[in-house]
């Protein structure tokens, strides 16, 4: 009686797992398509879509502007979010509860409503299609992720360590730099990564505030999908997948090494 139930449960999970990873798996072979079509499975092998991605100025320009926006956003969001997480941690819990809920609202506001509003503000202030505009909007969207990541590591951080450092004669700044910062560094780092990914992958606001002069990669992908069946998109997807896998793999490796020590 128990065995068939278990097999059924296992099969169900397998099905869900396939459903979860199917889109990722499909993208990889599509990127080696020999024809300009999105029929699956592809009929032959070629590298042309990768070549196209790196040589077509439209694609490479969008990659460069996406990287620029994401790097600057990640730095700003990490600084602002880390400061806020410290502030919230040091406040009376009732005040910090309200502020925390407020600061996290960007995560639940429907994307298009926010995008329409930002577009309206940017039209009036000439920020449409500018680096400043992109960075401001993306930083606002990324700060909640940094606050959550840093708060999580502050919650397990033993504040008595700071008191101990102070009692041993360390100034507040020294105590922060030599005790607090190294201990919460993993939280800050994961916040930084989240912020980078949030900006790099953001599309809805980007679609509204983009201009022919400043297009981010997701916008370029979206317009390519809606325009024609171009497997370059699949090549981009595969490259992003490999890049993320490498970063996460390195993170896991470092994490497990630290764990062993």
CB of 47 to another protein, least distance (A): 18
Does residue 13 touch another protein according to CB under 8 A?
yes
Burial of 167 (0-12, 13-18, 19+ CB in 10 A): exposed
Q: Quick one: tokens of 105?
A: 């609202």
* Residue labelled with tokens 């105590």: 175
Binding residue for another protein, selected from 119, 134, 145, 196, defined by CB under 8 A: 119
* Residue labelled with tokens 């008595």: 160
CA-CA-CA-CA torsion for 232, 235, 237, 242, nearest 10 degrees? -160
Residues 14-43 that bind another protein (CB under 8 A): 16-17, 19-24, 26-27, 30, 38-40
Give the relative orientation of helices 217-227 and 181-201 as an angle to the nearest 10 degrees: 30
* Residue labelled with tokens 């980078």: 196
CB of 211 to another protein, least distance (A): 13
Binding residue for another protein, selected from 3, 43, 93, 258, defined by CB under 8 A: 93
Q: Quick one: tokens of 101?
A: 């809920």
DSSP secondary structure string, 154-218?
HHSS-THHHHHHHHTT--HHHHIIIIIHHHHHHHHHHHHHHHHHHHHH--HHHHHH-BTTB--HH
Number of residues near another protein (by CB under 8 A): 86
Residue 105: count other Cβ atoms within 10 Å of its Cβ: 10
**Residue 111: which of 218, 194, 9, 184 has the closest Cα?**
218
- Alpha-carbon distance of 255 to 12, in angstroms, equals 32
Does residue 74 touch another protein according to CB under 8 A?
no
Binding mask 157-176 for another protein (x = CB under 8 A): -xxx-xx--xx-x--x----
Does residue 185 touch another protein according to CB under 8 A?
no
Does residue 9 touch another protein according to CB under 8 A?
yes
Does residue 248 touch another protein according to CB under 8 A?
yes
Binding residue for another protein, selected from 12, 51, 178, 185, defined by CB under 8 A: 12
Residues 210-239 that bind another protein (CB under 8 A): 217-218, 221-222, 225-226, 233-234, 236-237
CB of 109 to another protein, least distance (A): 7
Residues 139-158 that bind another protein (CB under 8 A): 139-140, 143, 147, 155, 158
Residues 46-65 that bind another protein (CB under 8 A): none
Nearer to another protein among residue 104 and residue 189 (C-beta):
104
Does residue 91 touch another protein according to CB under 8 A?
yes
Binding residue for another protein, selected from 35, 117, 211, 250, defined by CB under 8 A: 117
Does residue 195 touch another protein according to CB under 8 A?
no
- Rg of the chain over CA atoms, in angstroms? 23
CB of 158 to another protein, least distance (A): 7
Nearer to another protein among residue 85 and residue 214 (C-beta):
85
- Alpha-carbon distance of 106 to 194, in angstroms, equals 14
């Amino acid at each position: 009686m128990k065995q068939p139930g278990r097999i059924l449960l296992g099969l169900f999970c397998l099905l869900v797992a396939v459903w979860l990873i199917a889109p990722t798996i499909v993208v990889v072979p599509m990127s080696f398509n020999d024809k300009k079509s999105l029929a699956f499975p592809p009929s032959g092998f070629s590298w042309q879509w990768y070549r196209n991605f790196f040589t077509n100025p439209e694609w490479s320009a969008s990659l460069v502007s996406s990287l620029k926006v994401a790097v600057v956003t990640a730095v700003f969001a990490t600084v602002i979010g880390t400061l806020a997480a410290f502030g919230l941690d040091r406040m009376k819990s009732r005040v910090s509860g309200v502020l925390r809920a407020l600061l996290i609202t960007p995560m639940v506001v429907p994307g298009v409503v926010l995008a329409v509003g930002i577009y309206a503000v940017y039209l009036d202030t000439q920020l449409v299609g500018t680096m400043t505009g992109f960075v401001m909007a993306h930083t606002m969207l990324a700060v909640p992720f940094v606050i959550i990541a840093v708060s999580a590591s502050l919650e397990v951080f033993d504040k008595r360590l700071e008191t101990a450092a102070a009692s041993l004669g360390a100034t507040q700044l020294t105590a922060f730099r030599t005790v607090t910062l190294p201990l919460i560094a993993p939280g800050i780092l994961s916040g930084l990564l989240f912020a980078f990914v949030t900006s790099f992958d953001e599309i809805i606001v980007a679609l509204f505030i983009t201009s022919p002069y400043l297009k981010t990669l997701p916008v370029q992908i979206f317009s390519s999908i809606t325009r024609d069946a171009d497997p370059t998109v699949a090549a981009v997807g595969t490259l992003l997948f490999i890049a993320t896998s490498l970063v996460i793999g390195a993170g896991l490796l470092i994490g497990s090494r630290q764990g062993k020590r």
